Amino acid sequence: MTRPLVLHPDRLFPSDPTQRAIARALYAEIRDLPIVSPHGHTDPRWFADDRPWTDATSLLLQPDHYLYRMLHSQGVALDALAIPRRDGEPATDRRAAWRVFAEHYHLFRGTPSRLWLDHVFAEVFGFDVALEGATADLYFDTIGEKLAQPGYRPRALFDRFRIDFLATTEGAHDSLDPHRRIRASGWPGRVTTTYRPDGVIDVEHEQFPDALARFAELTGEDVYGWRGYLAAHRRRRADFRAVGATATDHGHPTAQTANLSPAEAEALFARIVGGRWTPEDAELFRAQMLTEMARMSVEDGMVMQIHPGSFRNHNAALFASHGRDRGADIPVRTEYTRALQPMLDVVGGERDLTIILFTLDESSYARELAPLAGHYPCLRLGPAWWFHDSPEGMRRFREMTTETAGFYNTVGFNDDTRAFFSIPARHDVARRVDCAWLARLVAEHRLEEWEAADLARELTDGLVRRAYRL
């Protein structure tokens, strides 16, 4: 006997009837607003090529480390899930992998992955029975069939999902060809990129030398000299802007910034490219580069996003066998107040600069981030991020930032995902959680209902567009 799959229309709303009624009314006003997705990791080739996806496993399971990290944590081998190793996809049949996933679907109870997937299953694929071992094949077959239909190609779904804007992320050393092809194709979908230069800034990244060589090639600059290196950044930022980018993104281990003199910076850079750097040099260089990027943002108007605090590739054995981004990035405590000061000494007073701060350390929300954003004109708070991109995480974000930073120093929602099919689900969860929070404020007479309606629209649309300069 299978279980029904039903998305309750009031899901994620408070059960208190007063709050629920308000949340419902607020949500009704914004549920159908188009999706603005200014930060994510979808593959631009999908939209450039518009080729069909093939099967449930390669579409939903293989690229989603949220899913397989949980299965891995419960002892399921990644090979059994057909997760690619450095040397290629294991021999496991994709249907068999899907079955393993389906049999373990109960592990996701209480997690956002479950909310997102059920939404995808019900709304995108039209399932009315729940995923479990008994329905694994039904799911695998149905998804495979649907994906072969024209309506399930990337561009068709982009329209069906009512996506108004979608940013991908490319490295400073990556090709922008897919984006150029999208633009050249005449397809009206607004897909653009984001400038993420970590690969040519983080000398501790294993691919730094290659990335730097490619950076030189793409820009024609002498990237091994400090002036040429900065010029190469300026050139690539312009390239990115030429295909529509409005923002940069910086995923550093810490939020440390620096304010070195030109001579000090040049000497540091010489050690970095000369291979004579210490770990302290590597950190200082990343720190200095945040300030350099902020300076360039003052020049060219690009919005700057800072995402610190992830200890990457924590599981050394897994990194050896499977490479990066395999669900083994673990957050660490992150300091902002002292770390950001050197950069803010340089650009803190700029009124035309926007720096969006993210965190994986919720203890910094009320203590550091909200007070910083509630003072400096250039600072805004990015939404609850990564592990905190969940109903409870989003609720804590609002509870811990609103009273000091207000709503207007926040920037709406980021889906931050490579899971294209889940984008509507993720935005829907964010909208519902925001409406639930606003409903509580109204129900406790801390906000008028008309103000909450105005804010619901701002959080969904206005703040995002203004923050990202869309």
Q: Which residues pair with 410 in a beta bridge?
A: 381
Quick one: 77 or 148, whose CB is closer to a copy of itself?
77
Comparison of 14 and 199: residue with beta carbon closer to a copy of itself? 14
Q: Which of residues 218-277 bind a copy of itself (CB under 8 A)?
A: none
Q: Does 90 bind a copy of itself (CB under 8 A)?
A: no
Q: Which of 440, 456, 459, 470 binds a copy of itself (CB under 8 A)?
A: 440
**185 vs 341, beta carbon nearer a copy of itself:** 341
**Binding of residue 3 to a copy of itself (CB under 8 A):** yes
Residues between 334 and 363 that touch a copy of itself (CB under 8 A): 335, 337-338, 341, 344-345, 348-349, 351, 360-363
Q: Which of residues 392-431 bind a copy of itself (CB under 8 A)?
A: 392-393, 396, 399-400, 402-409
Residues between 108 and 167 with contacts to a copy of itself, criterion CB under 8 A: 108-112, 115
Which one of 36-44, 200-208, 218-226, 374-382 is the stretch in contact with a copy of itself (CB under 8 A)? 374-382
- Which residues in the 186-225 window bind a copy of itself by CB under 8 A? none
Handedness of CA 381, 387, 391, 392 (dihedral sign): negative
How far apart (Å, rounded) are the C-alpha atoms in residues 14 and 301? 40
- Name the residue nearer to a copy of itself (CB basis): 45 or 295: 295
- Give phi and psi for 84, each to the nearest 5: -60, 135
Options 11-19, 267-275, 287-295, 414-422: segment touching a copy of itself (CB under 8 A)? 11-19
For a copy of itself (CB under 8 A), the number of binding residues is 92
With contacts defined by CB under 8 A, name the span among 16-24, 151-159, 167-175, 282-290 that binds a copy of itself: 16-24
Considering the complex, state which of residue 176 and residue 442 has its C-beta at the smaller distance from a copy of itself: 442
Question: What span, in angstroms and rounded, lies between the C-alpha atoms of 281 and 262?
Answer: 16
Pick the binder of a copy of itself from 447, 453, 456, 459 (CB under 8 A): 447
CB 342, min distance to a copy of itself, A: 10
Taking the complex as a whole, the smallest distance from the CB of residue 283 to a copy of itself amounts, in Å, to 15
Does residue number 16 form part of the binding site for a copy of itself (CB under 8 A)?
A: yes
Output b/e per residue, 135-149; b: 16+ Cβ within 10 A.
Answer: bbeebbebbbebbee
Sign, Cα dihedral of 412, 173, 334, 376: negative
CA distance 230 to 224: 10
- 14/63 with CB nearer a copy of itself: 14
| C-alpha span between 310 and 79 (Å, rounded) | 25
Binding mask 293-332 for a copy of itself (x = CB under 8 A): ------------------x--xxxxx--------xxxxxx
Q: Which residues contact 174 (CB under 8 A, 6 or more apart)?
A: none
Q: How far apart are CA 347 and CA 296, in angstroms?
A: 11
List helix spans (H) across 74-111.
Answer: 94-103
Nearest to 388 by CA among 365, 421, 356: 365
From residue 461, alpha-carbon distances to 38, 355, 394, 440, 465 in Å are 11, 19, 17, 21, 6
**Using CB under 8 A, which of the segments 140-148, 151-159, 265-273, 373-381 binds a copy of itself?**
373-381
H helices within 411-460, ranges in order? 423-443, 449-457
